[in-house]
């Protein structure tokens, strides 16, 4: 379907908290510009950036402009028109007066548009600031919609959703006081990645794989997210968080849920979300013995990074194995590995099938594999066996069938995950956003690990190490 047909064209203001942060520069503004270029933003649209730096609007626009130049090739005239949508409101998150000035700014835009606009509050800030901003939104009355159906307010909230289960529950209670569930959009941009959404299409529309999608035929599942980049300027944020919270609790478990969820009875938003949630609730919570086996690592030099404490024991790498209760998956090991500062950058999901009882050689050690290449080199490969030509009748070797996004023109229409997040939030489609139940199940799984693994040894690895060798 033409995406312009599903665009919601109601006057909307996006209020961005965390306006000078890394996420705003790397993902949010480039994605908004892409939506703007594709004509997918409402015709009447404004971005109000709320930040503490003592900048004028012109200075802030210059800041956004240079962030856009760094992240992509941009058409200058389109960029200038886009920058015109942005205004800057200086203020501190704990300052009531700043929130009332923000309110005035929003009313001013409403008057200018001559309508009660939709307001989207985007919390692109570290989780320790959620409570403060939410309480100020409540106190200032900004979260209250100025209209009924039209003139809504919604909240977009980044991951990690809190620092642990208790935190997440508290934030959810606070959110629940001001917003109904249909107004709350909990972001995990991995749920919105095209290559991950394709897993559902691939699984549920191919009869050659779906019947095999269970413990009878699948030996193991492995989900890997490797990044060669270091923490860079995000040291202060990352040091208090670590790899398990930063991407384990959310991205890795989101990938797991897409690979292992049941086919929803009806393929709609509610049911897809329910099935993701249901499978996460069946994760086997690790006990002390399993936790002891989890590998945690830190790359050499992490402690010297800007913003990181000199005696930090925050992990930049982890490897753990889990499984899912129930008749489909019980006993199938699922390995989750992730790390920064390793020798490769790739996100990949591998499904390894059981070996067949056969007289052909070599199969026992190299089983059939199905690999979803999430990024880079996006695509899907199947590893299978063929006879090796020649006089030996029973000799086989492995070959690969591959689908590569880059081989066709479709790459041009693949939206960036954050484009999808912003577009879906504006049009009110919650399918690709985590439910409160999903977040709770994720924390129930992660919490005991966080509480108990500090006693286990931290493996220090050189940056650039082959991640498979961190064991
Ligand atoms: C973010 C994490 O959520 O995802 C980062 O905070 C990580 O640490 C990033 O680098 C990876 O996202 P992507 O889309 O670049 O794979």
Show pLDDT as tens, one digit a residue, over the chain (471 residues).
566 677 788 999 999 999 999 999 999 999 999 999 999 999 999 999 999 999 999 999 999 999 998 877 778 899 999 999 999 999 999 999 999 999 999 999 999 999 999 999 999 998 889 999 999 999 999 999 987 667 899 999 999 888 899 999 999 999 999 999 999 999 999 999 999 999 999 999 999 999 999 999 999 999 999 999 999 989 998 998 999 999 999 999 999 999 999 999 998 999 999 999 999 999 999 999 999 999 999 999 999 999 999 999 999 999 999 999 999 999 999 999 999 999 999 999 999 999 877 666 555 566 899 999 999 989 999 998 888 899 988 788 889 999 999 888 776 778 899 999 999 999 999 999 999 999 999 999 999 999 888 777 899 999 999 999 998
- Is 251 among the catalytic positions? yes
- CB of 192 sitting under 6 A from ligand 1: no
- Among residues 235, 226, 273, 227, the alpha carbon closest in space to that of 254 is found at 273
Distance (Å, rounded) from C-alpha 459 to C-alpha 263?
A: 40
CA distance 218 to 221: 8
pLDDT of residue 70: 85
| CA of 245 relative to ligand 1 center, distance in Å | 12
3-state secondary structure of 457: coil
Counting from 1 in the atom list of ligand 1, the atom nearest the Cα of 229 is: 10
| CA 253 to ligand 1 centroid distance, Å | 14
Q: Does ligand 1 come within 6 angstroms of the Cβ of 187?
A: no
pLDDT of residue 413: 75
CA 26 to ligand 1 centroid distance, Å: 10
pTM reported for the whole predicted model? 0.94
Nearest-CA residue for ligand 1 atom 6 is 246
CB-based contacts of 440, cutoff 8 Å, min separation 6: 165, 168, 169, 172
Tell me how far the alpha carbon of residue 59 lies from the centroid of ligand 1, in angstroms.
28
Measured distance CA(114)–CA(108) in Å, rounded: 9
Residue from 237, 246, 344, 375 to probe ligand 1 pocket by mutation (most atoms less than 8 Å from CB): 246
Query: Is 378 close to ligand 1, i.e. is its CB under 6 Å away?
Result: no
Query: Closest Cα to atom 4, ligand 1: which residue?
Result: 247
CA 77 to centroid of ligand 1, rounded, Å: 30
CB 402 within 8 A of CB 371: no
Catalytic residue among 251, 263, 361, 397: 251
Query: Are the C-beta atoms of 440 and 169 separated by less than 8 Å?
Result: yes
Is the distance from the beta carbon of residue 247 to the nearest atom of ligand 1 less than 6 Å? yes
Burial bucket for residue 379 (CB in 10 Å: 0-12, 13-18, 19+): middle
User: In angstroms, what is the span from residue 209 Cα to ligand 1's centroid?
Assistant: 30
Nearest-CA residue for atom 7 of ligand 1: 247
- DSSP letters for 203-258: HHH-TTTGGG-STTTEEEEEEEEEE----GGGHHHHHTTHHIIIIIIIIIHHHHHH
Distance from chain centroid for Cα 47: 22
CA-wise closest residue to 189 among 440, 446, 425: 425
Testing ligand 1's pocket by substitution, the residue of 21, 22, 189, 318 carrying the most ligand atoms inside 8 A of its CB is 189
Ligand 1 pocket mutation, candidates 27, 227, 308, 316, criterion most atoms within 8 A of CB? 227
Determine the pLDDT at residue 398. Answer: 86
C-alpha triplet 365, 368, 369: angle, nearest 5°:
110
Parallel/antiparallel/unpaired status of strands 153-157 and 118-123? parallel
- pLDDT the model gives residue 71: 76
Atom 9 of ligand 1, nearest CA residue: 247
Our answer on whether the CB atom of 227 is closer than 6 Å to any ligand 1 atom is yes
Token pair listed for 101:
């000035």
pLDDT of residue 362: 59
Atom number of ligand 1 nearest to Cα 250: 3
Q: How many CB atoms lie within 10 A of CB 265?
A: 9
pLDDT at residue number 365? 63
Distance in Å, CA 246 to ligand 1 centroid: 8
What is the rounded CA–CA span in Å between residue 49 and residue 12?
14
């Amino acid at each position: 379907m033409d995406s312009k047909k599903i665009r919601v064209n109601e006057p909307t203001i996006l209020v961005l908290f965390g306006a000078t942060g890394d996420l705003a520069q790397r993902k949010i503004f480039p994605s908004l510009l892409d939506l703007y270029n594709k004509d997918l933003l409402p015709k009447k649209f404004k971005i109000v950036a709320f930040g503490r730096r003592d900048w004028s609007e012109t200075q802030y626009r210059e800041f956004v402009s240079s962030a856009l130049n760094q992240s992509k090739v941009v058409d200058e005239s389109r960029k200038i028109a886009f920058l015109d949508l942005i205004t800057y409101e200086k203020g501190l998150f704990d300052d009531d007066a700043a929130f009332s000035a923000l309110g005035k700014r929003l009313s001013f835009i409403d008057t200018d548009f001559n309508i009660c606009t939709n307001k989207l509050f985007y919390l692109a800030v570290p989780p320790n600031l959620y409570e403060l901003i939410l309480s100020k939104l409540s106190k200032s009355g900004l979260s209250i919609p100025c209209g009924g159906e039209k003139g809504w307010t919604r909240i977009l909230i980044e991951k990690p959703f809190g620092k642990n289960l208790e935190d997440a529950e508290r934030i959810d209670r606070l959110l629940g006081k001001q917003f109904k569930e249909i107004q709350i959009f909990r972001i995990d941009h991995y749920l919105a990645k095209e290559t991950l959404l394709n897993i559902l299409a691939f699984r549920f529309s191919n009869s050659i794989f779906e019947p095999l999608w269970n413990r009878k035929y699948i030996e193991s599942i492995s989900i890997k997210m490797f990044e060669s980049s270091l923490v860079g300027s995000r040291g202060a944020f990352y040091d208090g968080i670590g790899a398990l919270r930063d991407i384990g609790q959310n991205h890795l478990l989101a990938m797991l849920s897409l690979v292992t969820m049941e086919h929803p009875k009806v393929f709609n938003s509610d049911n897809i979300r329910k099935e993701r949630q249901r499978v996460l609730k069946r994760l086997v919570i690790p006990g002390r013995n399993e936790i002891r086996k989890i590998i945690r690592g830190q790359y050499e030099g992490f402690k010297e990074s800007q913003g990181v404490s000199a005696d930090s024991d925050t992990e930049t790498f982890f490897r753990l194995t889990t499984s899912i209760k129930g008749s489909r998956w019980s006993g199938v090991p699922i390995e989750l590995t992730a790390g920064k500062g390793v020798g490769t950058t790739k996100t990949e999901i591998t499904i390894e099938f059981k070996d067949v009882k056969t007289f052909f050689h070599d199969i026992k050690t190299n089983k059939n594999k199905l690999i979803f290449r999430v990024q880079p080199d996006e695509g899907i490969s199947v590893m299978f066996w063929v006879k090796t030509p020649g006089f030996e009748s029973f000799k086989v070797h492995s070959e690969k069938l591959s689908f590569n996004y880059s081989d066709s023109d479709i790459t041009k229409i693949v939206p960036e995950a954050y484009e999808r997040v912003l577009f879906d939030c504006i049009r009110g489609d919650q399918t690709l956003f985590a439910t409160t139940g999903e977040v709770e199940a994720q924390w129930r799984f992660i919490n005991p690990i966080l509480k108990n693994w500090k006693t286990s040894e931290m493996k220090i690895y050189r940056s650039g190490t082959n991640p498979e060798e961190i064991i």
